[in-house]
Structure 1
């Protein structure tokens, strides 16, 4: 049972890395509904694309996630695993209405993904992960083929020990309406006990203290990066918005048999917005970076396990 839980967490971590998404809460355990909301007070908006001065934006976001096992087979002779897992998630962000046509910040951003992952053992310590993901990332103004984001990947993972694993491979995505082939690298290191330290690159670095069986306090640095298809009147060709943020936060988690409650806050060091044109030739062109100034944030979340962990 322990090995199965560890495997599912690794698969979900890989999904988040390849989709470029990361939320403030823990990675969603299998067969658990996870809901999180984040609020950032009014922050100065600095737009390098065009003239826009003395502007503040308030940011609100809600994230939902659910994952489940499609099938999980273990060869009784060789102990090799062949597992299929699916994950569904969505995110809605509100950033305040644009002041005028020169304001390139979208009022709303919405993304949803559905992913299927296959894990197969290929040795005593090695495994192979294959995945495909389909999503819609949009500003909700106009829907067309550009709002559809597809990615897939192949990764080889070595489980050096229950607490240390790493992997490498490739993934393909259409983040700017063109096929993008990139290397995929993962690294996971964690410790157990009252004090827990975890590295899940590139999504999270955290340290936690288990106050008791029902409460945990964690300090975490997390990374979020996602692309959207958006509409703007200043330069309609530049329709791909890449959003990146880097928060450092302290959160408390209260745990029960079926429910977990999370409450926390911290500081957002980076919130960058870049608009790019589609196509391979424009993929690596340098473009101005619009940004929201660093600010505090608060977040809250709830997780509901649809069945007990013993099942």
Structure 2
């Protein structure tokens, strides 16, 4: 699968994560850190002496606008979603500048969820945002997307969704696939698989604390000017670790994560149809595995 398509799937799936959330104002603030690790040259896979780190703060908020539930449990729900993520990178001992030193992703969107027949739901969403390396902020940094996802809930703990997503990430509007998969188990030990965000196994120590083993996939995207062309570049980060979660009351959670980067790479492509269908001649730049840590607050306040 081309990484461009994977990025489209990542963007579209994020809009479905709260598709079955309660009528509440929900949000999160997460700060994470990856220390300096060695740059691995793509042409020969040699670990060089050049190093880069990754420091990031994320904020996301969802505000319900209206929610209607009939006697059969069918739902119609409008909500605003907004978020901002800022990352700062330190790049040491490079012969030339290969990677951005800052990235900003800020987005606002509207989504509508409605129940269909036989455990099907329809999620419609549209969003627009700035995805920039902050070197030169202009209209090219504005990316938009919208889509329609059909979500089938096979069981209370199992759901799958698919549908078309329209995005201008590659310069011209393109229809790309959007996918969503969510599976959970109940009991003392809980498993959760959420594609493409990741997976988790949680053990409830007591009513105040859960201990989790997690594997997460995420990243950031930015429009950049390179050799006079508009490109779309970004970091993809696959991490694994232990995550104690503390329940600070009914509606507030504190998450502490410590672990390792399983993969950290930088993907960059020209924003053109030709680039979309063209296979790369060499692998993408990547970095050696290293320590990973994050602190996060999550809340879910009844509206």
In 2: Cα distance, 1:285 partner to 1:246 partner:
25
- Displacement of 1:100: 6.4
1:61-100 aligned within 5 A? 61-76=56-71, 78-97=72-91
Is residue 274 of structure 2 the alignment partner of residue 281 of structure 1? yes
Correspondence list, 1:1-311, <5 A: 17-19=10-12, 30-48=24-42, 53-76=48-71, 78-97=72-91, 102-232=96-226, 235-237=227-229, 239-257=231-249, 258-287=251-280, 288=282, 289-305=284-300, 307=301, 309=302
Distance apart, 1:97 and its partner CA: 4.9
Q: Shift of the alpha carbon at 1:286?
A: 3.3
- Alpha-carbon deviation of 1:231? 3.2
Structure 1 contact 230–239 (Cα < 8 Å) conserved: yes
Helix, strand or coil for the counterpart of 1:117? strand
Shift of 1:93: 1.0
Question: What is the CA–CA distance in structure 2 between the aligned matches of 1:100 and 1:57, rounded to whole Å?
Answer: 10
Alpha-carbon shift at residue 20 of structure 1 (Å):
6.6
* Partners of 1:110 and 1:299 in 2: CA distance: 19
Q: Distance in 2 between matches of 1:292 and 1:137?
A: 23
Deviation, structure 1 residue 182: 1.7
Structure 1 position 44, deviation (Å): 0.5
Residues 196, 209 of structure 1: 8 Å contact kept: yes
Aligned residue for 1:180, secondary structure, equals: strand
Distance 1:16 1:282 in 2: 18
> What's the TM-score once normalised by structure 1's chain length?
0.83
In the alignment, the residues of structure 2 paired with residue 71 and residue 35 of structure 1 have an alpha-carbon distance, to the nearest angstrom, of 24
* 1:200-226 deviation line (CA, Å, top 9, x unaligned): 112121111111111011111111144
**Secondary structure at 1:55 match in 2:** strand
Shift of the 32–119 alpha-carbon distance from structure 1 to 2, 3 Å rule, reads closer
Higher strand share: 2
Structure 2, gaps ≥5 residues long:
1-7
- Secondary structure of the corresponding residue to residue 103 of structure 1: coil
Q: 2: CA distance between counterparts of 1:98 and 1:176?
A: 30
Secondary structure of 2:90's aligned partner: coil
Task: State the 4+ residue runs in structure 1 displaced beyond 4 angstroms.
Answer: 19-22, 27-30, 97-101
Q: In the alignment, is the contact (CA less than 8 A) between 1:61 and 1:91 conserved in 2?
A: yes
